[in-house]
Amino acid sequence: MKVKVLCRNPDDYVRETTKDVQRVPRNYDPSLHPFEVPREYTRALNATKLERVFAKPFVASLDGHRDGVNCMAKHPSSLSTLLSGSCDGEVKVWNLPTRKCVRTLQAHEGFVRGMCVRFCGASFFTVGDDRTIKQWKMDTPGYGEEEELLNTILGKTVLTGIDHHQKESLFATCGQQVDIWDEQRSSPIRTFTWGVDSFSCVRFNPVETELLASCASDRSIVLYDMREANPLKKVIMSLRSNTLCWNPMEAYYFTCSNEDYNLYTFDMRRLDTPVTVHKDHVSAVLDLDYSPTGREFVSASFDKTIRIFPKNMGHSREVYHTKRMQHVICVRWSLDSRYIMAGSDEMNIRLWKANASEKLGVLTPREKAAQNYSQKLKSKFQHHPQIRRIAHHRHLPKGVYLQKKELQVMTAARRRKERNVKKHSKPGSIPTVAEKEKNIVAVVK
């Protein structure tokens, strides 16, 4: 007679070492695991709540400046180095992991208006109110050595911004005109003017490295090709743009921060209509910087907040503020796309996480898997009202909150008026202007 017994192979259930994860045999028969959608919904809800619970974006504050931080620069190869220039002409080099200032320079008299690091990371340039361009060594001088300047160029006029070429030893400054300099020369190799008396910002395109763009005080944004004698094109907006930044992954997109509380993303091939208008700030936007992945950018505003916008979304996904952070003048996104540095009026530089609820440090594979899963769940159920409500809720300072409400009322009123005017005038006599195009005055060829 044959006797049948249950056969158990220890290999199937005994782990090899105690560090192994217990093997759990699973039956994926869907009838054994009912209610998949409600269960996943609940998980998504919990994940969203937990995300809000763990949203602690503030990492550190770097204090040491004795005046408002006016400009900042990232080191192109060292993630731990940050340079900042203040309104009293002091430049500080910071070590981010230790959160300490490693070097202080009295670079200029008056404001340090702009600074940039050479592409190799060996030296950096500063421009100041004292009409000079100064080149400094990145390395700290040894003990007892004098702080030494590599190079000083005396400009004829006040310079307000500087940016370095991505690969060549060229840099661009702006002031009354946009100049292209060779590092070896004391006079600019190219000068661009187009009937504007002052520029506030000039930026090289990091991808198509010969292209530049600048913001001018006549409310225009001007494009240049370094190889050409003349500028390329300019677009005039209703209010002045303060800064602009090119998308590092998409050559033809750039975003500018405007005085009219909005940011505008342009396709440089079609300047007459911005691709996206990013609204959420309640005061002038002073600075912005793209994430190195090119998918998001951060903006600093006079309304004492920092906002993070996805590159193609009209509204921000995140807003950072603290009680003590005053008008944020400059902001940078770190080159590993994980941190945001914001320099503000009240002499501090603050370090934020780019993802508020991200866990810092090394993640175990299981943690990573869990994180991925919850991330996916959140995005899967993001349209469900309860989840969206929790995910989108942000606490705002009272001033900002009230201002936002007020702005809403104002825009509604404006829209209503527009509608009424249209309604009470001859059909076709009042043209419909798209919301995006409202703030574009003209494109000058």
Partner 1 sequence: MPRNRFTAPLLHVGSCVNIMAKSKVKHAVGAPKPSSTSVKKNQLSYDDDEDELFEDDTVISASEDEGGSDDERKHRKLLEAISSLDGKKRRKLAERSEASLQVSEFTVSAEGAGEKIRLSDLLGRMDQVPSAVSKTKKQLKHLQNRKDTVELPLSRQQSEKIQREAAYDKATKTVSQWQPVVEQNKRAEQLIFPLNQEPSGPKRVEQVVVGWKAQTPLEQEIFRLLHKNMQPVHDPVLTPLEEASLKAMSLEEAKIRRAELQKARALQSYYEAKARRERKIKSKKYHKVLKKAKRKEFLREFEEMRESNPAAALEELKKMELARMQERMSLKHQNSGKWAKSKAIMAKYDTEARKAMQQQLEMNKELTQKLVVPSEEEEEQEEVEVEVLPDFVNEAQSVTDPANPWMTGRLTQEPSEPGDNGEEPMMGDKSQLGGVPEEEEETLDDDEVLLRQFDEKRKLRQSEKEGLVPSLLLLDTDTLKEKEELVVDSSEDENEEDVSEFNSLFLKVVKDRCQAPVAETTKVEPKGTEKEEAALLEEGPTRVVTLEDMDGLLSQEASGEDSETANQTVPPPPAVRSSGTTSQQGQKSKKNKRRKVIDCNNVLTKEARALEVPLLPTVIDEEENDVDQKLIIKEAFAGDDVVSDFLKEKRQQEEAAKPKVVDLTLPGWGEWGGVGLKPSRNKRRRFRVKVAPPPPRQDEKLPTVIMSEKRDSSVAAHQVSQLPFPFENPKQFERSICTPIGNTWNTPRTVQKFTAPKVISQVGAVIEPISREDSLGGRTQSATGKAPDIQLPTGGAKGKGPHKERKLGRLNHSQPSKAKRTKAQAQ
Report in angstroms how near the CB of residue 159 gets to partner 1 at its nearest.
20
- Interface residue with partner 1, options 377, 391, 400, 440 (CB under 8 A): 377
Scan residues 349-368 and list those touching partner 1 (CB under 8 A).
Answer: 362
- Interface residue with partner 1, options 95, 252, 436, 441 (CB under 8 A): 252
Report in angstroms how near the CB of residue 112 gets to partner 1 at its nearest.
25
Question: HEC string of the chain?
Answer: CCCCCCCCCHHHHCCCCCCCCCCCCCCCCHHHCCCHHHHHHHHHHHHHHHHHHCCCCEEEEEECCCCCEEEEEECCCCCCEEEEEECCCEEEEEECCCCEEEEEEECCCCCEEEEEECCCCCEEEEEECCCEEEEEECCCCCCCCCCCEEEEEECCCCCCEEEECCCCCEEEEECCCEEEEECCCCCCCEEECCCCCCEEEEEECCCCCCEEEEEECCCEEEEEECCCCCEEEEEEECCCEEEEEECCCCCCEEEEEECCCEEEEEECCECCCCCEEEECCCCCEEEEEECCCCCEEEEEECCCCEEEEECCCCCCCEEECCCCCCCEEEEEECCCCCEEEEEECCCEEEEEECCCCCCCCCCCHHHHHHHHHHHHHHHHCCCCHHHHHHHHCCCCCHHHHHHHHHHHHHHHHHHHHHHHHHHCCCCCCCCCCCCHHHHEEEEEC
**Does 294 help bind partner 1 (rule: CB under 8 A)?**
yes
**Does 42 help bind partner 1 (rule: CB under 8 A)?**
no
Task: Give 192 or 261: the residue with its C-beta nearer to partner 1.
Answer: 192
The one segment of 103-111, 155-163, 369-377, 396-404 that binds partner 1 by CB under 8 A: 369-377
The one segment of 86-94, 227-235, 390-398, 409-417 that binds partner 1 by CB under 8 A: 227-235
- Interface residue with partner 1, options 227, 323, 393, 424 (CB under 8 A): 227
Scan residues 58-77 and list those touching partner 1 (CB under 8 A).
Answer: 76-77
The one segment of 122-130, 146-154, 224-232, 317-325 that binds partner 1 by CB under 8 A: 224-232
Task: Give 58 or 373: the residue with its C-beta nearer to partner 1.
Answer: 373
Report in angstroms how near the CB of residue 400 gets to partner 1 at its nearest.
28
**Does 372 help bind partner 1 (rule: CB under 8 A)?**
yes
**Does 40 help bind partner 1 (rule: CB under 8 A)?**
yes
**Does 337 help bind partner 1 (rule: CB under 8 A)?**
yes
Separation of alpha carbons 45 and 41, rounded Å: 6
The one segment of 55-63, 81-89, 147-155, 381-389 that binds partner 1 by CB under 8 A: 381-389
- Interface residue with partner 1, options 63, 109, 139, 336 (CB under 8 A): 336
Q: In what order do the strands lie in the sheet with 318-320?
A: 285-290, 296-301, 306-310, 318-320
Question: One symbol per residue from 295 to 334: x for binding partner 1 (CB under 8 A), - otherwise; what is it?
Answer: x---------------------------------------
Report in angstroms how near the CB of residue 53 gets to partner 1 at its nearest.
21
**Does 369 help bind partner 1 (rule: CB under 8 A)?**
yes
Binding stretches for partner 1 (CB under 8 A): 26, 28, 30-33, 36-37, 39-40, 43, 76-77, 79, 166, 182, 189-190, 206-208, 211, 223, 225-233, 248-252, 268-269, 292-295, 335-338, 362, 369, 372-373, 375-377, 380-381, 383-386, 445
